[in-house]
Amino acid sequence: MATQVLIRPISDNPKAPHYLIFFITGNPGLIQYYDAFLKTLHQLLSEAPLSQNEVFHIFGQSLAGFEDNDTPVPSTGYPHTLEDQITSRLQLLEDQRIPAGPRQGEEYDGIILIGHSVGTYMLLELLQRLRKSGSSLKVKGGVLLMPTVMGLAESPSGVMSSPIFRIGGFPWAFSRAAKGLIWLTPRSALKWVVSSVLGMPENGAETTTRFLTSSMGVWQALHLAADEMRTITVDKWDDDIWGIEHAGPKSDIPKLFFYFAEKDHWVADHTRDTLIAARGKKVGEKSSKPEMAIDSNGIGHAFCLKYSETVAEIVKPWIDEIITASVDA
């Protein structure tokens, strides 16, 4: 299976604006979980563009350590840390250029970042690092889905798992034990369990089975999760990211949209509510602060398993708004 989702249409119009949707996965970091979401989103953007000539490209790649042939970090012998993942996403983003046509090799006219779960934390880190480095990339905004950007250990799942993650060597030991059990289980039987017992649809079941049978996927997921618990603690970003009240029309602060589940086992209600109160844009307020919404459709944290099309329909107008704001600025 592919390690990337690439949608790169070709336009012969030298004046067409090219926009890149750059997607950052959650954990487990397999891009295949998001295939239906990204393809539906691209279809919606292409069928109802703001004008007649925008060209939308989509790029997403699995996190390091989750694919079949991935290996531990040579210098440490351990899986990739959260910092490793951020650094590799930053390099991937900086490498992106218009792939073909009369503007081949040029930078995109606008980039919109989308992250899910821990991918939202990486998104904010990318924004801050790009702005501090003076990068020429034109990042216009971001969409943060089921965001885990602070207080991860205080979430319901964090409360249960963080003591276990403090046990030395737990990720490696558990992954070895799990791998032994999985090795004894025929792949078809494993997929049946994932599909029937856990209730996953076909794509989710196939991707999960591949994740469980990969060389180091389970170890990587647990190692990364332990690092997330230690790192995702407090609000660490400044007004260049969060925006300010009474921002002028020429503000270059990226426009951000946060979308929370009503009940999320990886986000404590009080963490979500505190973040919305402190950083969210108030109704009627003129500011560059993020717009934050709580789902009312029963969509859970792992939206990509059953609600890909619904979430794509929610995200599409936000991307339109980001582009409109950047054109008007």
Which residues, listed in sequence order, are joined to residue 57 by a DSSP beta bridge? 20
Q: What is the pTM of this model?
A: 0.94
Strand partners, 61: 4
Would you write out the chain's pLDDT as a tens digit for each of its 329 residues? Answer: 568 888 998 888 999 999 999 999 999 999 999 999 999 999 999 887 777 688 999 999 999 999 988 899 999 999 999 999 999 999 999 999 999 999 999 999 999 999 999 999 999 999 999 999 989 999 999 999 999 999 999 999 999 999 999 898 999 999 999 888 888 888 888 888 888 877 788 888 999 999 999 989 999 999 999 999 999 999 999 888 998 765 554 567 899 999 999 999 999 999 999 999 999 998 888 888 999 999 999 999 999 999 999 999 999 999 999 999 887 65
Beta-strand ranges (E) seen in the chain are: 4-7, 18-24, 55-61, 110-116, 139-145, 255-260, 291-294
Residue 293 β-bridge partners: 259
**Cα–Cα dist 301/307, whole Å:** 10
Spatial strand order in the sheet of 55-61: 4-7, 55-61, 18-24, 110-116, 139-145, 255-260, 291-294
Give CA 199 to chain center in angstroms: 23
Between CA 3 and CA 93 the distance in angstroms is 16
CA-nearest of 245, 179, 240 to 213 is: 179
Q: Helix (H, G, I), strand (E, B), or coil: what is residue 124?
A: helix
Sequence-separated (6 or more) residues with CB below 8 Å from residue 239: 253
Which of 7, 57, 67, 55 is closest to 31 using CA atoms?
Answer: 67
